[in-house]
Amino acid sequence: MRDIRSLTVRQFRIFPPDIVPFRALRTAPGMEVIKKRYKFRESAIEAGELLFAAGMFAKEKGTGVVSVSGIQINERRVIVEVDGTSADATEVYEDLRQLILSVEPLQEPDMAEPVVLTEETQCAVTLDFGWEDLFNERFIEYVTGPFRDRLSNPNPANLNLVNARFSFQFTPADDRVKAFGATLADKHLTIEPRVNYPLEARRFFTVSPLGSDAHFEVLGEIETLLTHRKRRRPSPPTLQVPRGEE
């Protein structure tokens, strides 16, 4: 595994009703506080949701800057997306949480414990196997076994193959999820050839419902699994991957 690029982490937090001070945040002063703090170039209110895009966050003690791709807030949910690691996303969220409390100082509880916290990591990476190696029983066994066991929710009810993507449907395991009426969206594992690269480059676009550290561990495990086959097949003819949505 090498040459990791375009690393993005999204964290989803869902709260019980009346925890996110949405009414205060959607006012002009509330939105301005968030926009100014992260230097967002874009902000809007659409379909009952606050949307911020193209910002940055200066980490503590001059340790660097995190590109904040976006923040979405509604009455029950806060989404933070960064061009960086899970640790970066968590640091941005903790800063955002304190900022929200400054807008609504009487807020109690303080958004420290969501009902649901999930993550998604995606990146482009070069791996030591070819696209054809994804179509063998060892990879399928890994997805339906060890990878499935890694998922934060222990009850993935259904697993479907969608083109080069595996889709996991969840049944809530935490009683609080049902009690507070939260829903769990499908999660996806994607490992597919990167568009506009020749197949022999072994360049892949990858997505998983995991934090960044676990995402890299999974890629390493898959790489080890597929490169330790008894005998590798010859490389396929050179083909050009057509353009398409990632």
Looking up residue 184, the CATH number of its domain turns out to be 3.30.530
Does one domain contain both 142 and 207? yes
Nearby residues of 2 by Cβ (< 8 Å), 6 or more positions away: 125, 126
Contact status, residue 209 vs residue 118, Cβ threshold 8 Å: yes
122 and 222 fall within a common domain: yes
Same domain, 175 and 208: yes
Number of structural domains found in the chain: 2
33-51 confidence digits (pLDDT tens) = 999 999 999 999 999 999 9
109 lies in the same domain as 121: no
| CA separation for the pair 23, 16 (Å, rounded) | 15
- Based on the domain organization, do 49 and 95 belong to the same domain? yes
Residue 244: its pLDDT value, please? 47
Identify the pLDDT of residue 21. Answer: 93
Residues in the chain predicted with pLDDT less than 50, given as ranges, are 230-232, 234, 237-246
Q: What are phi and psi of 176, to 5 degrees?
A: -65, -30
pLDDT value at position 243?
A: 47
Query: Do 125 and 218 have their domain in common?
Result: yes
pLDDT at 10: 98
- Residue 102: exposure state from Cβ atoms within 10 A (0-12, 13-18, ≥19): exposed
Together in a domain, 34 and 79: yes
Same domain for 107 and 71, yes or no, is yes
| Domain assignment of residue 27, given as a range | 17-114
Instruction: Give the pTM.
Output: 0.84
